[in-house]
A and B are shown apart, each in its own frame.
Chain A
Amino acid sequence: MGAAVEKLTGLAQAADRFAIGHADLREAQIDAMNECLQERRERIKLLDHRAKEASLREIRTLEDVVPVLFPHTAYKSYPESWLIGQKWDRLGKWLGTVSAYPIAPIDTSDIRDIDDWIARLEAVGHFVACSSGTTGKSAMLIASARDIEWSCSDNVAAFSWGSGVEAKQDYRMFGLAPVAHVTKNQAIGNAHTAAFGDPRVEKFHLPVPPITVGQLTKMVVLRKAIAEGTARPADIAAFEATSKERQETLEKSYILGAEALVAAREHKLFISGMWNALYQIAVLVRGMGYSGKDFHPENCIYVGGGLKRAQLPPDYQQVVHETFNIPAHRNFQIYSMQELGSTMPRCQKGRRYHVPPWIVPLILNKNGDALEPKRGSEVEGRAAFFDLSLDGRWGGVITGDKISLDFAPCACGNASPSVRDDIVRYADLEGDDKIGCAGTVDAYVRGLS
């Protein structure tokens, strides 16, 4: 690790890490990105390719880094046919083009499914997180053991900073989301439990089996088979029956979750989950005759992810907060994504997401190929980040999000750059008004989303 990277990531536990202004960090951040480039370009094949194409030898300005930022789609550039055809050796080789550490050949002869493959890679120190692409392809993000450790401590620290909750092991932990079986996410959950959970009481988990990457992949495989015309009606019926069963199990588990919350209502609760599940459970708790006044005033909440296409009434957040008596200053939110190893917690006063010193924020044009010119302190455009903490893969990523980044100090008093609380995805902004005679077989596949 280079000196500049070390200096910036060394601020992880500093109490005033969000108090440092952009101008004071710029030089160190550029040096740090250059250190990463020099250290990794021999190791990450895609990075070397990009750097060569851009004739880039070193990073001296923010502009220099733009051609070597990877679009988020770079992590799903493998042919889906390899996943469907279970070509583990080829997928391993693909992963090797984006990994910062060489992937030693593993025995793939007896691998049954992608869950097996992921477990086999983990055993040799490569942690692969798959995004839950339901209709499209999953992104596969490779990380090292150090990345997992970093994400755990970063998440806990971000939560404390954003919510004001100290890590005193005095909360009862409630995990109210059907969890995807992804090592990174589970490790983060465990880190929260270790930091905030009362060790005498076991964490409550929604009683549903975790969704594995293999199960998500089954959907992708079936979609492809339907498109090709090889799926038989019995295959589709079996899949739909499983989905229905799962949905029923989930709905039953919400009732059990609501009952467990009511039973624990006089204790301090640390509630984590996703909006849809939290909202459904809040409605059930109300139906049982309980509301905010019955719950502990120091409760806190950690919500991950967006709505994921769930249709909820506009006041869903308020319903959840009021039901569980979550005070306004405990309304913790973060901005992050699977592509990053670190998070940007939201402050209570300015309601803005703060960028820590080890994340370099860049605002690009819509196409993601140039920096958006800076007029005034706030810039709007496509979000890109260089996460200097990342060890197992390249830190530079271009997101699908449109954000406003302010380089001026926030109303909360912190001087770090911050992101306005109105992030949207470009994909959602545009919709699809396009109509033409040319198209793919995807338009002929119904359901499965």
Chain B
Amino acid sequence: MSATAMELGATERRSPHPIRVDHFVRGRLVTGEVIRHRSRDLGVDFTTPEIDLDALVTPRSELPPLLDVKTSEIIDFLVECGERMQLEKNPHLQQALERIVATNPLPRRVVENLFRDAGRFLSRDSLGCSIETNFANPAALDGWVERTDFHGQHGALRAFPPRMIHMLAGNSPTGCIASIAQGALVKAINVFKMPSSDPFTCVAMLRTMADVDPDHPVVRSMSAVYWRGGDERIERTLYRPQYFDKIVAWGGGDAIDNVIQYLGPGIQLVSFDPKTSISMIGPEGFASDAVIAEIAEAAATDVTVFNQEACLASRFLFVEGDREGIEKFCARLQERLGVDRETASEVAHPLPAETREQIEMLQLMDDEARIWGQCDGRGLVILTPSPVDFHPSHKTANVVHVDSLDDAVRYVNVATQTIGIYPAARKAEMRDRLASAGAQRVVRLGSAAKHVMGGPHDAMFPLQRFVHWMSDEDA
């Protein structure tokens, strides 16, 4: 099935009636069409209830609702909620889906697939794995753990629940489920600030959880609201250490700049930074037509994740090897970019105008660059001797022909996240240099979206940074 105009939300976008956004505050649904907003990506109008700031803040005199709930119990509850995340049976998700397709650039079918796959964030294995890898002694989450230093002095330690604001990312609707799980695992009091491209999924998920048990401490620890990012009236008031310990934010630019101005003693930023991902393919990849076909499919898998809206989607593919083989690869890659996939559609949105200008210019100059495909969102491959200086998006791959992959290391920087490498044996050989340049993750080409459970994100173990490490000492 291919994406049609309907799938891309074209019809809904023209609707003159603003879409209703509900809030969820400390376990209770809040409705009301009081404030009108416009979504960032697609310019759709929606309305939200008025935000009661007092309700969003739990006074420090109150102990966190999850403090005395065992981690194992929290996991049981999350797993049970995960089982209710079935699109066919869950009216909250169904309603969210209808609304998301109007505000989010992802096609309907991709959002459906993401919802179908969302249960994995709440699997017992993955939740347990996060805790095991984040905490040297997970018992510190459930109570005070004793420790003794080299001098025999005693103390106790507790990973005390934090008060957190999560600024959710807008490019993956189900990303909020991972954030909800993280907030629950560290027993935090959580406020989720929803993005304008999806002010729906988080509330749908919390309502699903409330259906399981409306008074569960996990549910009472969660609020999800929308305000326009940068709204001083809300942010100046709310972002204070007396109210919150940590702000967890995705992205860069204005979104982070807005938060940074409120940081100070007692209130910290844990940022999941904006990232670019790349691929590196050695000469072995162009050895035969069969190998070319195989690596073109693997590369296309990595490029097209969420129609290239994701940070782990590859954008620059550095290749070393024989020119003829590389050009065959480019042609094949272009074909494979136009294939319907689990998390990508045959046709993405067309490229932005400014990028089109630059690509058109490369075509007009008719040397150095070779181009396969068009700017129509069906997949575009640009072969150049050095990286283009625009950000390849909407299923665009910039294949950069380098003399040696060692030369490509200089294009790795502090914004580089995932590097898909072929042949996989080159990973071990290159990983130290890639880490030194700033990269965070090396994977086999074609596996950018697959993860070993419980791994770090953005070069850190976030849960261990979220908690308030409280120490009781008898020195």
Q: Which residues of A contact B (CB under 8 A)?
A: 45-46, 49, 71, 73-74, 77-81, 90, 93-94, 97, 227-229, 367-368, 430-444
Q: Which residues of A contact B229 (CB under 8 A)?
A: 433, 435
Pairwise interchain contact A439-B230, C-beta atoms closer than 8 A: no
Which of A49, A94, A434, A441 touches B413 (beta carbons < 8 Å)?
A441
Q: Known contacts A93-B365, A433-B196, A439-B252: does B230 contact A81 (CB below 8 Å)?
A: no
Pairwise interchain contact B353-A73, C-beta atoms closer than 8 A: yes
Q: CA separation between A93 and B367, bound complex, in Å?
A: 11
Which of A46, A71, A80 touches B354 (beta carbons < 8 Å)?
A71
Pairwise interchain contact B410-A228, C-beta atoms closer than 8 A: yes
Which of B313, B364, B438 touches A45 (beta carbons < 8 Å)?
B364
Pairwise interchain contact B274-A438, C-beta atoms closer than 8 A: yes
Q: Which residues of B contact A442 (CB under 8 A)?
A: 252-253
Question: What would 14 A/B residue contacts be, using CB atoms closer than 8 Å?
Answer: A71-B353, A73-B357, A80-B389, A97-B365, A228-B410, A228-B411, A433-B229, A435-B255, A436-B251, A437-B169, A439-B253, A441-B415, A443-B253, A443-B274
Q: Is B79 an interface residue (CB 8 A)?
A: no
Q: Known contacts A46-B360, A227-B413, A228-B413: does B167 contact A435 (CB below 8 Å)?
A: yes
Q: Is B90 an interface residue (CB 8 A)?
A: no
Q: Known contacts A79-B388, A432-B255, A434-B197: does B414 contact A444 (CB below 8 Å)?
A: yes
Q: CA separation between A94 and B362, bound complex, in Å?
A: 9
Q: Is B168 an interface residue (CB 8 A)?
A: yes
Which of B230, B311, B413 touches A438 (beta carbons < 8 Å)?
B311
CB-nearest residue of chain B to A53 = B360
Q: CA separation between A227 and B364, bound complex, in Å?
A: 29
Pairwise interchain contact A79-B389, C-beta atoms closer than 8 A: yes
Q: Known contacts A432-B255, A443-B415: does B276 contact A77 (CB below 8 Å)?
A: no
Q: Which residues of B contact A436 (CB under 8 A)?
A: 169-171, 195, 250-251, 274, 309, 311
Most buried by A among B175, B360, B361: B361
Pairwise interchain contact B386-A81, C-beta atoms closer than 8 A: yes
Q: Is B126 an interface residue (CB 8 A)?
A: no
Q: Which residues of A contact B389 (CB under 8 A)?
A: 79-81
Q: CA separation between A438 and B171, bound complex, in Å?
A: 8
Q: Known contacts A45-B364, A436-B169: does B414 contact A441 (CB below 8 Å)?
A: yes
Q: Which residues of A contact B391 (CB under 8 A)?
A: 440
Q: CA separation between A46 and B274, bound complex, in Å?
A: 34
Q: Which residues of B contact A431 (CB under 8 A)?
A: 230, 254
Q: CA separation between A78 and B389, bound complex, in Å?
A: 9
Pairwise interchain contact A439-B274, C-beta atoms closer than 8 A: yes
Pairwise interchain contact A438-B196, C-beta atoms closer than 8 A: no
Q: Could you tell me the dominant secondary structure of chain B's interface residues?
A: loop
Pairwise interchain contact B274-A229, C-beta atoms closer than 8 A: no
Q: CA separation between A46 and B360, bound complex, in Å?
A: 8
Q: CA separation between A232 and B415, bound complex, in Å?
A: 18
Pairwise interchain contact B40-A434, C-beta atoms closer than 8 A: yes
Chain B residues within 8 Å of chain A by Cβ, number: 53
A-facing mask of B34-47, CB < 8 A → 1, else 0?
00000011000000
Q: CA separation between A94 and B357, bound complex, in Å?
A: 12
Pairwise interchain contact B364-A439, C-beta atoms closer than 8 A: no
Which of A45, A74, A227, A439 touches B357 (beta carbons < 8 Å)?
A74
Q: CA separation between A437 and B197, bound complex, in Å?
A: 13
Pairwise interchain contact A443-B273, C-beta atoms closer than 8 A: yes
Pairwise interchain contact A433-B353, C-beta atoms closer than 8 A: no
Q: Known contacts A77-B360, A94-B365, A443-B274: does B230 contact A433 (CB below 8 Å)?
A: yes
Pairwise interchain contact A438-B276, C-beta atoms closer than 8 A: yes
Which of B171, B172, B386, B415 touches A440 (beta carbons < 8 Å)?
B415
Q: Which residues of B contact A49 (CB under 8 A)?
A: 360, 363-364
Q: Is B358 an interface residue (CB 8 A)?
A: yes
Pairwise interchain contact B276-A439, C-beta atoms closer than 8 A: yes
Q: Is B92 an interface residue (CB 8 A)?
A: no
Q: CA separation between A431 and B254, bound complex, in Å?
A: 8
Most buried by B among A46, A79, A229, A368: A79
Q: CA separation between A93 and B361, bound complex, in Å?
A: 11
Pairwise interchain contact A78-B361, C-beta atoms closer than 8 A: yes
CB-nearest residue of chain A to B197 = A434
Q: Which residues of B contact A (CB under 8 A)?
A: 40-41, 167-172, 175, 195-197, 228-230, 249-256, 272-276, 308-311, 313, 353-354, 357-358, 360-361, 363-365, 386, 388-389, 391, 410-411, 413-415, 437-438
Q: Which residues of B contact A368 (CB under 8 A)?
A: 353
Which of A81, A90, A228, A439 touches B275 (beta carbons < 8 Å)?
A439
Q: Which residues of A contact B413 (CB under 8 A)?
A: 227-229, 441, 444
Pairwise interchain contact B365-A437, C-beta atoms closer than 8 A: no
Pairwise interchain contact A433-B276, C-beta atoms closer than 8 A: no
Pairwise interchain contact A433-B255, C-beta atoms closer than 8 A: yes
Q: CA separation between A443 and B360, bound complex, in Å?
A: 26
B439 → A minimal CB distance (Å): 12
Q: Known contacts A433-B254, A434-B255, A435-B250: does B415 contact A444 (CB below 8 Å)?
A: yes
Pairwise interchain contact A437-B361, C-beta atoms closer than 8 A: no
Pairwise interchain contact B354-A437, C-beta atoms closer than 8 A: no
Q: Which residues of A contact B230 (CB under 8 A)?
A: 431, 433
CB-nearest residue of chain A to B306 = A438
Which of B41, B311, B361, B363 touches A439 (beta carbons < 8 Å)?
B311
Pairwise interchain contact A229-B414, C-beta atoms closer than 8 A: yes
Q: Which residues of B contact A440 (CB under 8 A)?
A: 274, 276, 391, 415
CB-nearest residue of chain A to B168 = A435
B412 → A minimal CB distance (Å): 9
Q: Which residues of A contact B196 (CB under 8 A)?
A: 433-434
Q: CA separation between A90 and B274, bound complex, in Å?
A: 32
Q: Which residues of A contact B168 (CB under 8 A)?
A: 435
Q: Which residues of B contact A228 (CB under 8 A)?
A: 410-411, 413
A146 → B minimal CB distance (Å): 25
A407 → B minimal CB distance (Å): 27
Q: Which residues of B contact A432 (CB under 8 A)?
A: 40, 253-255
A90 → B minimal CB distance (Å): 8
Most buried by A among B172, B310, B388, B415: B415
B99 → A minimal CB distance (Å): 18
B233 → A minimal CB distance (Å): 15
Nearest 7 CB-CB pairings of A with B: A439-B274, A443-B252, A436-B171, A441-B415, A437-B311, A432-B254, A435-B251
A311 → B minimal CB distance (Å): 16
CB-nearest residue of chain A to B41 = A434
Q: Which residues of B contact A74 (CB under 8 A)?
A: 357, 361
Pairwise interchain contact A437-B228, C-beta atoms closer than 8 A: no
Q: Which residues of B contact A435 (CB under 8 A)?
A: 167-170, 195, 229, 249-251, 255
Pairwise interchain contact B172-A443, C-beta atoms closer than 8 A: no
B171 → A minimal CB distance (Å): 4
Q: CA separation between A433 and B259, bound complex, in Å?
A: 12
Pairwise interchain contact B273-A439, C-beta atoms closer than 8 A: yes
A277 → B minimal CB distance (Å): 28
Q: Which residues of A contact B410 (CB under 8 A)?
A: 228
CB-nearest residue of chain A to B254 = A432
A49 → B minimal CB distance (Å): 6
Pairwise interchain contact A441-B386, C-beta atoms closer than 8 A: no
Pairwise interchain contact B361-A77, C-beta atoms closer than 8 A: yes
Q: Known contacts A71-B354, A79-B388, A97-B364: does B250 contact A437 (CB below 8 Å)?
A: yes
Which of A77, A229, A444 touches B358 (beta carbons < 8 Å)?
A77
Q: What 18 new A-B contacts, CB under 8 Å, besides A77-B360, A438-B171, A440-B276?
A: A45-B364, A78-B361, A79-B388, A97-B365, A229-B413, A434-B41, A435-B167, A435-B255, A436-B171, A437-B272, A438-B274, A438-B310, A438-B313, A439-B273, A439-B311, A439-B415, A443-B415, A444-B273
CB-nearest residue of chain A to B276 = A440
B91 → A minimal CB distance (Å): 28
Q: Which residues of A contact B250 (CB under 8 A)?
A: 435-437
Q: CA separation between A74 and B410, bound complex, in Å?
A: 29
